[in-house]
Structure 1
């Protein structure tokens, strides 16, 4: 998964706050600063888990405070799932 796919899901699941540019360099911007609370991130990760058939632990999701961290966790899980298949 890449940043563009993640920001598309963020927009679809939780919208975009006024004055927030998700098309900019947001990899290391905390989700709180982007206007997304933990509930919004849980919604997005729920869609990702369903669509990609992976399971992210709640602790992992809670630790992912930026898009970069969340993408690292997602892609690590996707890689593990691919290797197991």
Structure 2
């Protein structure tokens, strides 16, 4: 069941920082929607942990097999907020 709560880029950053540590590679005030997670300092383990948090907070399941296809913050926001990731 999809949540009616909209996830923002700041929400995603908070979750990633909680799961994978605060990344110095996450540029403040810059548009990071289309930057790859690796470029932002987050690995697949951080994304797996974030997926669990996203499901708890937003009610959006993120299956393990989908995680490798979520390569940018925009992909995650689209999934959580109802759009289909590219």
- State the TM-score, normalizing by the size of structure 1: 0.77
Q: 1:64 aligns with which of 42, 65, 70?
A: 70
* Structure 1: gaps of 5 or more residues: 78-85
The aligned residue for residue 4 of structure 1 is: 10
Alpha carbon RMSD of aligned pairs, Å? 1.8
**Cα distance in structure 1, aligned partners of 2:22 and 2:28:** 8
Unaligned 5+ residue runs, structure 2? 1-6
Q: Which region of structure 1 is more displaced relative to structure 2, 27-36 or 54-63?
A: 54-63
Structure exhibiting the larger radius of gyration computed from Cα positions: 1
Partner SS state of residue 76, structure 1:
coil
* TM-score, with structure 2 as normaliser: 0.76
